[in-house]
Amino acid sequence: MNSKTATSPSAQPRFNLPYLANTLGGLFGQSVAGVEATPLEGDASTRRYFRLHPHYRSRGRGPDSLMLMQLPEPFPGEKYDFVRIQKFLEGLNVPVPHLYHYDAAKGFVFLQDCGDITLEQQLQNCDEAELRSWYRQAVDMLADMQFRATQRIRPDCPAYHLRFDTAKLMWEMDFMIEHYIEGLLDLKLSDTVWNALRHHLQRLCSELDRQPLHFTHRDFHSRNLMVHDEGLVILDFQDARMGPSQYDLASLLRDSYHVLPEEFVSDMVDRFISLKKQKEKRDVDADEYRRVFDLMSIQRNLKAIGTFAYQKHTVGNGRYEPCIAPTLNYIRTTLKLHDDWKGLRHALESAIPELAA
């Protein structure tokens, strides 16, 4: 590990060279002369990531590189959700990074290195045929994960005990109001506007709460899908919980990081519905599924805007601010598709001037 890496204030490593060399040597059964540790750019989480390059004294079976995920603090004696869900998904043959080792006492997770190319980056230079191919793969993978994980989940998986109920969904809406409307936009809502907004958001969340429960990744989008060995690998699954079938599909197809044409979104929703019918061996009401998909998209996009605003206004991280405008446009477009949700549309337009523009 070079000295620059060790002193980088943004990386804050808690490890040293002897620890890495001894740990990797023990893992792969060979002597390690040294380890290069390169910090990677952080995301909105409190975890830190490092790419490790071990220098083996002799050629053996150890990987040329691997990832070290440093948790914000150790959780000794506790079962870490990321590790438990990784084992659950890997046991279902869902493509997730392989877990080499979890050091609970120190708060380090050693993982397979799946490269640097996210789906978002891969799509930047794609033609239409390539884009369609990648999204077919992502939709197929999501349908497969959702079906098998929902069928096989048991109480030993953390996601089993968590769900997107009205309380959780409304907590996210209140977070958006606090950090986007009142925080980033610095707007003081009148009691009338505030009450109307929360009333219609509560109605939206209650409608979503009534949907059948499925395993949801919770953050299934183009920045959490890595392109590796000509396929896709899923990251950031530690917050999985039970929720509507449409949750992850909305996250993927109404993605704040890569905007897709509505006609293309419609085609991919059709594909998912067809796969769902095949896997569950039952009919699916396509119109109803699409209706809930749109409602889930609105809630999911509002939640994302709250997160982006929090990062900008509270944390001082402006990386996500450019994502707010396209996400608002998703909401604006989707609301116009459903006359029976005019009340929600008017309430949001009253609270968020950009939506009425």
Q: Are 158 and 81 in contact (CB under 8 A)?
A: yes
SS3 92: coil
Across 282-311, average pLDDT = 98
67 pLDDT band (50/70/90 cuts)?
A: very high
Helix (H) or strand (E) holding 17: helix 17-28
Beginning with the edge strand found earlier in the chain, give each strand of the sheet holding 66-70 in spatial order: 32-39, 48-56, 66-70, 108-112, 99-103
User: What number of H helices and E strands is found in the chain?
Assistant: 13, 9
Strand 32-39, strand 48-56: pairing:
antiparallel
Is the pTM higher than 0.85? The answer reads yes
d(CA 4, CA 183) in angstroms, rounded, equals: 36
SS3 208: helix
**In the structure, what pLDDT confidence band is assigned to residue 8 with cuts at 50, 70 and 90?**
very low
Say how many C-beta atoms besides its own lie within 10 A of residue 206's C-beta: 13
The pLDDT value given to residue 197: 98
32: which strand partners?
56
Mean of pLDDT values over 83-88: 96
Angstrom distance (rounded) from CA 309 to CA 305: 6
Residue recorded with tokens 């996009």: 301
Q: Which two tokens stand for residue 18?
A: 């002897």
Tally Cβ neighbours within 10 Å of residue 237. Answer: 25
Mean pLDDT of the chain: 93
pLDDT single digits (tens) 119-155? 999 999 899 999 999 999 999 999 999 999 999 999 9
The two three-digit tokens of residue 267, written as one number: 């085609």
Under 8 Å between Cβ of 257 and 323: yes
Structural domains in the chain, sorted by start = 3-112 (3.30.200.20), 119-356 (3.90.1200.10)
Residue 9 has pLDDT above 80, yes or no: no
DSSP state of 280: H
| pLDDT value, residue 75 | 84
Of the candidates 87, 304, 202, the residue with the CA atom closest to the CA atom of residue 312: 304
